[in-house]
Structure 1
Amino acid sequence: MDKPEVALDNCDEVYDFYLRHQQNRLAAKAAYGLLALKFRPRVTYADGAKEQVRALVRSDARLVLAVNHLSHSDPYTVAAAASASALRPAIGRTRVLAKDELFLEPKRRERVDLMGGIPVFRGKNHGMRAVNAAGQRMMDVCAERMRRGDDLAIFPEGTCNEEDPTRLQKIGSGIGHIMSRAVRLGVRPVLVYMGISYGPLPGKVARASVYLDNPVTEIPEKPADIARLVAAGLQRAVDGAVARY
């Protein structure tokens, strides 16, 4: 399957490709494991959350992992934490939303594709009007991938938090729209909140504190209500990660 150039004016072909693309699961597990050895995240859980996540993965529930966004290294931290946590069996069938710039350089794209990346064309880079159609298609692809059996990982803040790493930025409605569309396709998504803290030293990403809060199975119908639910739950996870750094 030929890889199309990841460019906004080529977005239909791009999303046709990522609707079908499947990484090598064994290679993905190995890559995630190497990242766990390199970054060595310290994963902790809310009371009962580890058992709940493990049971959900075992039951083949569709998970939406919501993660706060602090650094360009976050995808590697998330991959490392997944390998070192109850999420490990989901590696190789989890799609990760990633900014389109990460797909431009061929070697980096290979790594992002191996991690299950789906490109996102952001309004801050291309203009809101220009990315509207691509954004709608991206959300449809994510919902369909979930219907086909994939989980999803999202940084719902949309951009790195360069102000206060202990407080979430505004949560966009995108995660709500994706989950709402998945529900319309017959999926019953479960929210899992992952909070990350790198502590007080800027640039230090090894040994991050990663906290998994209790999964949420009751999801509101409206995208805006889902976004508000995510904002509250993900802040709890961030608080947990900060407290355990």
Structure 2
Amino acid sequence: MDVDLARSDAVYEHYREHQQDRFRAKLMYGMLAARIRPVVQFASRDRLVRAARSGNPLLIAANHVSERDPLVLAAAGFRSPIRRRIGHMRVLAKDELFEDPEQRRKIDTLGGIPVFRPKDHGVRAAAAAAGQMFGVCVDRMKRGDSIAVFPEGTCNDGDVTRLQKLGTGIGHIAHRALRAGLDISLVSAGIAYPDDDRGRPVVEFGEPIDLSRFRDETPASLTRIIQGDLQHVVDDVYHAH
């Protein structure tokens, strides 16, 4: 099945049910960790351990500064308490990454869910597909999956220490999940590529935030909350390096 906007109904029905092979997923995440060797740091490792063990879905928000970011985040996840979620981790990725069959197999193993971005397909055409994608994310979270998002939507080619304005997609996912009665934890991940660490990327996982206390917030206000927390973690990772 092609990942094509014209067939978004079939695409998202497929990814609503798709389950990657957990053994192959752990193997691939482990290989990425061995190859990339990211420096991983934590605002509170103990709290991240508790969140990862809780069984509640995690909503991971990461900044986007390089095309390498999804692989770096996967490698860092393997070297963190989030490792226990591998095999039940879904990652939103732009649809063009699913075009090449070999690359798609790898992305499917990593837990990819395609996103049809407005910048690629137009606002109106992408909006309906976005609603379907939000629904798939919430259905996956109901089954215990966690979701990783790069909510800036595109690589930051300006000041990488300052987030671009986040798209409200991540706020819609959080809003729908909370309205569905799910207890979810936000985990912000700051990614940096310092020049003074032999080329090794640095990833900091922020202190988990229980989003259930924001259950009555709107998608837009949830997006602002997420932006503030992610910027705080990005500040930390760049200040430390």
Provide TM-score, normalisation by structure 1: 0.94
Aligned position for 1:12: 9
Counterpart among 226, 230, 234 of residue 226 in structure 2: 230
Shift of 1:163: 0.6
Counterpart among 42, 48, 58 of residue 63 in structure 1: 58
Query: 2:81 is paired with a residue of what secondary structure?
Result: coil
Alpha-carbon distance in structure 2 between the residues aligned to 1:54 and 1:43: 14
Cα distance per residue 1:28-72 (max 9 Å; x no partner): 1111011001111001111xx211111111121210000000111
Counterpart among 120, 130, 133 of residue 138 in structure 1: 133
Alpha-carbon distance in structure 2 between the residues aligned to 1:138 and 1:218: 20
Tell me, yes or no, if structure 1 residue 216 matches structure 2 residue 209.
yes
Query: 2:144 is paired with a residue of what secondary structure?
Result: coil
Percent of residue pairs identical? 46
Alignment of 1:75-154 (within 5 A): 75-154=70-149
Aligned position for 2:32: 35
How many pairs were matched up? 238
Query: 2:64 is paired with a residue of what secondary structure?
Result: coil
Alpha-carbon distance in structure 1 between the residues aligned to 2:181 and 2:231: 28
Letter in 2 for 1:92: G
Alpha-carbon distance in structure 1 between the residues aligned to 2:39 and 2:239: 12
Change (3 A) 1:178 1:124: same
Shift of 1:244: 2.7
Root-mean-square deviation over aligned CA pairs: 1.4
Q: Is the 8 A contact 2:194 2:200 kept in 1?
A: no
Alpha-carbon distance in structure 2 between the residues aligned to 1:167 and 1:39: 24
Letter in 2 for 1:241: V
Cα distance per residue 1:63-85 (max 9 Å; x no partner): 00000001111110000000011
Task: For structure 1, list consecutive stretches of 5 or more residues without a partner in the other structure.
Answer: none
Shift of 1:206: 4.7
Alpha-carbon distance in structure 1 between the residues aligned to 2:207 and 2:235: 13
Alpha-carbon distance in structure 2 between the residues aligned to 1:25 and 1:158: 27
Alignment of 1:131-210 (within 5 A): 131-200=126-195, 206-210=199-203
Task: For structure 2, list consecutive stretches of 5 or more residues without a partner in the other structure.
Answer: none
Alpha-carbon distance in structure 2 between the residues aligned to 1:113 and 1:233: 29
Change (3 A) 1:156 1:74: same
Query: 2:181 is paired with a residue of what secondary structure?
Result: coil
